[in-house]
A and B are shown apart, each in its own frame.
Chain A
Amino acid sequence: GAVVSQHPSRVICKSGTSVKIECRSLDFQATTMFWYRQFPKQSLMLMATSNEGSKATYEQGVEKDKFLINHASLTLSTLTVTSAHPEDSSFYICSARHGGRAHNEQFFGPGTRLTVL
C-alpha cells in the first residue's frame, strides 16, 4: 500500500510552452500533497504544499503564477509549469501524506524529468 504515481515520467518541451505533471495517490486518500524540485547533486527542495480543496501554500521564492498547483480531489494533485524556460529544467517529485500512517510519513512519486529546450 501507499503508492504514489506521477505522469509523465519524462517530458521535453520547447521554451514558452506549459507542462502539466500529475501526481496520484493510488491506494489511499491524501489531503495533503507536496511538490519538490531537485537539481543534480542537490537536496529535494520543497516548492509548495497542496491541500485538497484549498489554495496551495508556496515556499519563499517560488512563483505561484509560474507553478500552478491544483489539488482537485483526495487522490490527485497537478503541477503546471507555465511558460517554461530552460532554467525550469529539473527533476520534479511529488509526495503524498498518508493520514493513516505514522507521523508525517510521506510517500513519494517516481518523479518527472522536465527538459525545456
Chain B
Amino acid sequence: DQQVKQNSPSLSVQEGRISILNCDYTNSMFDYFLWYKKYPAEGPTFLISISSIKDKNEDGRFTVFLNKSAKHLSLHIVPSQPGDSAVYFCAASGETQGGSEKLVFGKGTKLTVNP
C-alpha cells in the first residue's frame, strides 16, 4: 500500500511558465512533508519542506502548498527554468521506526522544462 503517491510520472513545461507537481498521501499521522530533486545517478537534493501546521511555504521560485483535509500537497516552480529538469520526489515523515522518524517517498515525477 503506497502511502505517498505521485500520480503523474512525468510533466513537460515551457521555460518561464509555472510547473505544478502534485502529491497525495493517505496516512493522517504524517506531520512533515518534503520535496527533493534528483538527477540521474545522483542522490536526492532537499528543496523545500512544510510542516502540517502550515498551508504554504515559499522559498524563491519554489512554493509548497499543503491541503490537510484533502491530504494533498503541491510544489509550484515559477518561473520554470531548463535547469529545473529532474525527477522530483515528494516525501512525508511522522512514522517512527525504532524511535527515529523515517521518510516515506513517492515514486517521483520527471519534470522536463523546454527552452
Contact = CB atoms under 8 A, between A and B. Distances in A.
Same complex for A and B? Answer yes
Interface of A: 4, 6, 32, 34, 41-46, 49, 51, 57, 59, 91, 93, 95, 97, 102-111, 113
Interface of A is mostly: strand
Contacts of A41: 9, 107
Interface of B: 4, 9, 32, 34, 36, 41-46, 49, 51, 89, 93, 97-108
B42 A110 contact: yes
B102 A103 contact: no
Given A93-B43, A104-B32, A46 B103 contact: yes
Given A49-B100, A57-B98, A105-B49, A111 B41 contact: yes
Given A102-B49, A103-B32, A111 B97 contact: no
Contacts of A43: 4, 89, 105-108
B49 to A, nearest CB: 7
A34 B42 contact: no
Contacts of B93: 103-104
A103 B89 CA distance: 18
B98 A44 contact: no
B77 to A, nearest CB: 20
Contacts of A46: 97, 102-104
B97 A108 contact: no
Given A32-B100, A42-B107, A43-B89, A111 B49 contact: no
A111 B42 contact: yes
B52 to A, nearest CB: 10
B32 A44 contact: no
A41 B99 CA distance: 30
B107 A108 contact: no
Query: What 3 A-B pairs come out closest when comparing CB atoms?
Result: A57-B98, A108-B43, A43-B107
Contacts of B108: 43
Given A42-B107, A43-B108, A108-B45, A51 B98 contact: yes
Contacts of A91: 41
